[in-house]
Structure 1
Amino acid sequence: MTATHALAGHDSVPGSARPSPVRGVSPVLEVPFTEDGAVDADGFRRVVRYVLGTGVSSVMFPGFASEFHKLSEEERGLLTGILLEQTAGRTGASAVSAIVAVQDHATMLAVARARAAVAAGADLINLLPPHFLAPSRRAVVAHVRAVLEAIAPTPMVLQYAPTETGTSLDGATLAEIARAHENLALIKVESSPPGALIAELAAGDPALPAVEGYAGVQLPDAFRRGAVGTQPGCSFTEIYVEIWRRLAGGDQAGGEELHRRLLPYISYWMLDTELIVAAEKLISKRRGLFASSMCREPAHRLDPEEVRMVDRFLAEFADLLPSLE
């Protein structure tokens, strides 16, 4: 199911019999649109092929970076099918696991979507817990358990993004769920900072692997605390792969130095989710991955200085970010 890569980093949490099904860099795929707002399916195919060629062990779709909340059901199904077509034929050292995300607020809809994704060929399910109108913790836990039961034994990544959702789940609650459901395989930690929860999960019973999200802003600290991977956007995957290669290969100083160069950009872009989506789309357009950097409204419109920032970024990292035309 999951590829084994030299760039994988930590294979499992120390002291845990539960290996991580996701390791290293696991990008969230972006969705290109045409200038009139239609889904650019051919552009999305190029996105998938590009990311699969960067040395990653898994990819995720759709997430916040995919503008999932702006896609119709038909568009979402079309794009998920394109992803699964591209990952299905890859075996051995070239295999890349497909993580399909579920964000439905109604438990019955989340269960149905998760089952359909598994039937279509998803290797893992990423679950964003319900958050609209502030459901109780008991209701959130019941929702998570229902989806876990529905897809077992397929592994689940549980996404913890309190800034975007307001959902609050602590380490003890996550460990309690994991004790009852062996297919809770991984936690995507997007709290700010993520390190404390990553360390708490690693020390729990059972120990739970974690990946760090949030564009990798706290990546070196997360790695030191036991993160088994990172899940950023995808327009400059090569930089994250190189940072992870250095950290996982024992070159802590080299990994931190490259991350220090990246940090002024991602720390600004991550001030707002719509801002980093817009910046990453312009990066992909500049690199020749697709024709338009259009984001569906409501969206962040890059001002002239933010456009110049993208161009400075591409000039600074030109050695790691070749043209994709």
Structure 2
Amino acid sequence: MTPIRGVSPVLEVPFTDDGEIDVSGFRRVIRHVLGTGIGSVMFPGFASEFYKLAEDERRTLTEVLLAETNPRADVLAIIAVQDHATRLAVKRAQEAVAAGADLINLLPPHYLRPSRKALVKHIREVLDAVAPTPVVLQYAPAETGTSLDADVLREIAAKHANLQLVKVESSPPGPLIAELAAGDPPIPAVEGYAGVQLPDAIRRGAVGTQPGCSFTEIYVEIWRRFEDGDDAGGDELHRRLLPYISYWMLDTERIIAAEKLISVRRGLFGSPYCRAPAHRLDAEDIRMIDRFLAEFREFL
């Protein structure tokens, strides 16, 4: 059985109006998301603006998350590792496991285009360092330019039993998800990229989805419908959501800004501040968010 199934949100990081991390707001986000019935959460990802966090901020927020999840048997904490240097990635992954992380999410290095051989070596060393803790390998070619394929991933999984999932964010994700599921060994996959291709990913064998967290309830309802065999209902709700998420996902910073304002409108924290460089929502962006909240108020 895969350790992740269904909706596994990536937590956002609220800031105050002057740009400091809002720790109490982050705690409210965690508690709200855990209250939606999900079985796991991930932090920090692109949706968390991990690339804009200082080390001490990241450590503080991770501690807050694990303090909320460690006492609970019904939810798993996935702690992400994005360090470019293998030595640092190994150290961060080991520290996360020691602190209580249930899984590690590993984003392979991508600065200055390391060779495939170097990528595989990096992945293997992190897997070895945290075994038997399960690892999710994040494949996000649009954001990183990294190129991996099913054969390479199977080769790694054959020697590292703790490579238990691949987060597929290629566009479209479905073909790779199906190829991974059909291989030997089969590798389960979760879909990301805000769920833009979620119905196709589910039909091709995705075991979960990892969107942002400001409207988790909608993703939970879509997943529930498909899991209950109500494909038409799942498709219908996803069709309603698609114009919004497909527009917001034209730019990662755009969807971060949109989700933050949605969370503010929902009362989860006080400021939609995003650290620069960031997307600045214009008047039409804000009207679109308000239309979204009105259209989906039955779920939110």
2:266 to 268, 287, 296: 287
Partner of 1:87: 69
Deviation at 1:162, TM superposition (A): 0.0
Residues 1:266 and 2:245 aligned together: yes
SS where residue 89 of structure 1 aligns?
Answer: coil
Tell me the distance in 2 between the aligned counterparts of 1:70 and 1:249.
Answer: 39
- One-letter amino acid of the structure 1 residue matched with residue 214 of structure 2: S
Task: Give the number of aligned pairs.
Answer: 300
Residues 1:254 and 2:233 aligned together: yes
Partner of 1:159: 138
Tell me the distance in 2 between the aligned counterparts of 1:121 and 1:176.
Answer: 29
Q: What is the percentage of aligned positions where both structures have the same residue? A: 75
Residues 1:142 and 2:142 aligned together: no
SS where residue 98 of structure 1 aligns?
Answer: strand
Tell me the distance in 2 between the aligned counterparts of 1:51 and 1:204.
Answer: 34
Residues 1:62 and 2:44 aligned together: yes
1:299 to 270, 273, 278: 278
Q: TM-score, normalization: structure 2? A: 1.00
Partner of 2:207: 228
Deviation at 1:90, TM superposition (A): 1.1
1:313 to 289, 292, 295: 292
Tell me the distance in 2 between the aligned counterparts of 1:142 and 1:204.
Answer: 22
Partner of 1:4: none
- One-letter amino acid of the structure 2 residue matched with residue 47 of structure 1: V
Post-superposition Cα deviations, 1:142-196, rounded to whole Å, max 9, x if no partner, equal: 0000000000000000000000000000000000000000000000000000000
Q: TM-score, normalization: structure 1? A: 0.92
Q: Which runs of 5+ in 2 are unaligned?
A: none
2:165 to 160, 171, 186: 186
- One-letter amino acid of the structure 2 residue matched with residue 214 of structure 1: Y
- One-letter amino acid of the structure 1 residue matched with residue 42 of structure 2: M
- One-letter amino acid of the structure 2 residue matched with residue 80 of structure 1: T
Residues 1:75 and 2:54 aligned together: no
Q: Which runs of 5+ in 1 are unaligned?
A: 1-18
- One-letter amino acid of the structure 2 residue matched with residue 289 of structure 1: L
- One-letter amino acid of the structure 1 residue matched with residue 186 of structure 2: A
Post-superposition Cα deviations, 1:181-214, rounded to whole Å, max 9, x if no partner, equal: 0000000000000000000000111000000000
Over the aligned positions, Cα root-mean-square deviation in angstroms equals 0.4
Partner of 1:12: none
- One-letter amino acid of the structure 1 residue matched with residue 138 of structure 2: Q
Post-superposition Cα deviations, 1:110-161, rounded to whole Å, max 9, x if no partner, equal: 0000000000000000000000000000000000000000000000000000
1:131 to 110, 115, 122: 110
SS where residue 69 of structure 2 aligns?
Answer: helix
- One-letter amino acid of the structure 1 residue matched with residue 23 of structure 2: A
Partner of 2:35: 53
Tell me the distance in 1 between the aligned counterparts of 2:70 and 2:39.
Answer: 14
SS where residue 77 of structure 2 aligns?
Answer: strand
SS where residue 166 of structure 2 aligns?
Answer: strand
2:2 to 2, 5, 20: 20
- One-letter amino acid of the structure 2 residue matched with residue 162 of structure 1: P
Runs of 4+ residues deviating >4 angstroms: none
Deviation at 1:20, TM superposition (A): 1.1
